[in-house]
Amino acid sequence: MVFSDIHTPSYIIDEKKLRENLELLSDVQEKSGCRILLAQKAFSAFSEYPLIGRYLAGATASGLYEAKLSSEEMGKENHIFSPAYRESEIEEIAKICDHVIFNSFSQLAKYGGTVKSIQEKRGITDGIGLRINPECSTQDEPIYDPCAPGSRLGITLENFKRGVADYPDAFGYVSGLHFHTLCEQGFEPLRKTYDAVEDKFGEYLNLPQIKWLNMGGGHHITKADYDRDGLIALIQEIKGKYRKHHSDTGSAGMAYQNTAGEADGIDVYLEPGEAIALNAGYLVTEVMDIVENDISILVLDASAACHMPDVLEMPYRPPLRDSGLAGEKKYTYRLSSCTCLAGDIIGDYSFDNEIKVGDRLVFEDMAIYSMVKNNTFNGIGLPSIYAMDEDGNCRLVKEFGYEDFKMRLS
């Protein structure tokens, strides 16, 4: 990979690694019988949607714009979840989304009839879901924990029971349940979470009206140490235990088994984002200056605040090619940016060789939560986007300029 001729800063999508991730996910789909969707909130480089669509069932959206992007550029299954929907957008959403998942019974009651009517005209009879909150935390960072106390995401069991009682007609629209509680985690947290879901919401999964279960995203399925066999076994377990039913008769809110109407197992969905583009991208930046102040500080044309927001939000230390921890190698530098934000610091890294103005540095694992989170704070330009093919050849996909900065302002 030769990046010396590429304009900086630039993202480079590694199509070979992207394909390898997709092949692993496709294998999980085939062996388990589940359906895997691209979570566009992590990776929305739609120039790669034709490739992704060859392996996965479709995509999922967090709002109307992502839903439109998936509809236009991938054209496969199109799902959406939002904590709340706008009245002015719900009809358009129903026209292009196969599953519309609500976050509350009040939103379900307000829009469920509209969505059901529009979807039925499209031949879709099982496209409405509810997000549940199993109240089972598996991580330490509250900002990434939908099960933290006071979370707005998902319906707790107590509120679910109340909603079924208060909105029996609206609950009749529901064909699936959805939970999303993980963030870049392995199989064991999923197993723990699913056990909590089954313990709390198992009676509802048994209802004949329930046709699918969506286990959300945050699954690091393509990491080398992920227990994919365990994931496949869990999905098969779910499909074996909870069955589709031909008849939708029965009392909403009560456990009900229609043994005469059993068909195949309920559909199981996964919505990974990072797993699809994990380690499948780079950010190439150039050293513009070196400032001395107790430590040598590299001023880059890439920015944590503008181009790698997770560095400051998580916090997160992005991997940097041919580098080590501070003090590990001979030369240690602090990596910073051209913005006016004093805290726009990527981190302290060390190198075997002295770094000079004009050198190129290559950050790795830069496909996920990077392009989708870019901003133009301080008038800093957006990085160009390249794609690198299987032979290592790079082609320019898109370049940004002043108009892209100006068009967001007034």
CATH 3.40.50.1220: does it fit domain 33-277?
A: no
φ, ψ at 123 (rounded to 5°): 85, 15
Give yes or no for residue 253 having a pLDDT over 80: no
Task: Please name which of 180, 181, 194 lies closest in space to residue 139, comparing C-alpha atoms.
Answer: 181
Residue pLDDT, tens place only, 163-219? 999 999 999 999 999 999 999 999 999 999 999 999 999 999 999 999 999 999 999
**DSSP-based three-state secondary structure for 334:** strand
Separation CA 212–CA 102 (nearest Å): 14
Domain with CATH 2.40.37.10 in the chain: 281-366+374-406
Question: What does CATH list as the number for 281-366+374-406?
Answer: 2.40.37.10
Give yes or no for residue 357 having a pLDDT over 60: yes
Mean pLDDT within 358-367: 96
Give the type of residue at 262.
E
Residue pLDDT, tens place only, 46-74? 999 999 999 999 999 999 999 999 999 99
Mean pLDDT within 356-371: 96
Tokens of 319: 């991997």
Give yes or no for residue 367 having a pLDDT over 60: yes
Tokens of 63: 């709002």
Q: Please give the DSSP secondary-structure letter assigned to residue 87.
A: T
Separation CA 351–CA 47 (nearest Å): 35
DSSP string, 274-287: HHHHTT-EEEEEEE
Task: Please name which of 115, 45, 105 lies closest in space to residue 80, comparing C-alpha atoms.
Answer: 115
For every residue of 215-250, which 3-state class applies, written as one string? Answer: CCCCECCCCCCCCHHHHHHHHHHHHHHCEEECCCCC
Tokens of 251: 């009392």
Domain with CATH 3.20.20.10 in the chain: 33-277
Residue 212 · residue 266 · CB < 8 Å? yes
Residue 104 · residue 155 · CB < 8 Å? yes
User: Which pLDDT score is estimated for 2?
Assistant: 66
Give yes or no for residue 28 having a pLDDT over 50: yes
User: Which pLDDT score is estimated for 315?
Assistant: 82
Asked if residue 315 has a cis previous peptide bond (ω within 30° of 0), the answer is yes
Band (pLDDT 50/70/90 cuts) for residue 1 is low
Residue 122 · residue 115 · CB < 8 Å? no
Asked if residue 9 has a cis previous peptide bond (ω within 30° of 0), the answer is yes
**Neighbouring C-beta atoms of residue 268, cutoff 10 Å:** 21
Residue pLDDT, tens place only, 279-337? 999 999 999 999 999 999 999 999 999 999 999 988 889 999 999 999 999 999 999 99
Separation CA 191–CA 175 (nearest Å): 23
Residues 6+ apart with CB under 8 A from 313: 143
**DSSP-based three-state secondary structure for 398:** strand
Residue 99 · residue 88 · CB < 8 Å? no
Band (pLDDT 50/70/90 cuts) for residue 141 is confident
DSSP string, 92-108: HHHHH-SEEEESSHHHH
Give the type of residue at 109.
A
